[in-house]
Amino acid sequence: MASPETSQGTVIVTGASSGIGHAVCRRLTAADRPIITVDVGEQPPDLAPEKHFICDLSSEEEIDAMVEVLSDDFDLQSIAALVNVAGVPGTRPAAQVLDVNVLAVRYLSRCLVPHLSPGSSIVNVGSISGNGWQERLHMYQSLLELDNADARAWWSDRSKSVGVDPYTFSKEAVIVWSMLHAGELRGTGIRCNVLSPGPVETPLLPTFREQIGDDRIDWVLSHSGRAAKADEIAQAIEWLAVGESGWVNGHHLVVDGGYTSGLLSGWVDVTEAPAPKLTHVD
């Protein structure tokens, strides 16, 4: 159950200036929920957050500086949720993919958790590209035991030998991290969940087509019917973050129009799928 402080509290959203993050902010604003926005770019003109931070989340120094300002300027015990949407595609350098999609999510969450109150929540954004996380669970458990510096060294040594491309690896890792974090938060009253979309109509979709290949994306869309709208993903994120989801914890919620259900139950035959590209940018 949310505490009185968090029941109508502020939500911090990363990746807030475009795509899914922007759609989450629009929904929260429509519900009169105060927001704090974080992005590598400027604040969108149609949002009026309590504060906007321009922050390169691949830099721990910039995250530290942002958290210091947050601690000075806001009552962080009234923060209702942290929504980690920010991410980069596999067309970026492999080191940056790990930094932004995994290590920044972990670092920012751990920086803020000591200040949060029971009833608050964390929502991370994965991808259906990460659906195979169970095949490499022990690898992710080992990686996520390392601090960021050692994790980067691990990745530098193994990024081309893990069996999947860096983007897939990062999304599998953030799914596992979210489940581990839910366990780490036991007894605090703070929840952590992860949501994985399929293809979404955002400015990044052409980049994902470049990363994965048109044939593979179109094949997925032939089973789900179409790409999602950003607001359709934001609906589910809003529910996990501040909706009536108080006993949902450590959960991996797939929001892809049914495509993954087809893989799991057999009405989608992945052996017929065009092979995806395996993007690895040094």
The SS3 call for residue 151 is helix
Angstrom distances, CA of residue 269 to CA of 88, 163, 184: 29, 21, 37
d(CA 226, CA 149): 40
Q: Is 107 a catalytic residue?
A: no
Residue 95 token pair: 């080191």
CB 100 within 8 A of CB 88: yes
Residue 130, C-beta contacts closer than 8 angstroms, at least 6 positions apart: 168, 170, 171, 172, 173, 174, 175, 196
CA Rg, the chain, in Å? Answer: 18
In DSSP terms, 35 is beta-bridged to: 11
Identified catalytic residue from 107, 140, 167, 259: 167
Residue 268, C-beta contacts closer than 8 angstroms, at least 6 positions apart: 223, 259, 262
In terms of C-beta density within 10 A (0-12 exposed, 13-18 middle, 19 or more buried), how is residue 269 classed? exposed
CB 14 within 8 A of CB 111: no
d(CA 34, CA 132): 36
d(CA 89, CA 91): 5
CB 12 within 8 A of CB 39: no
The SS3 call for residue 115 is helix
Catalytic residues: 167
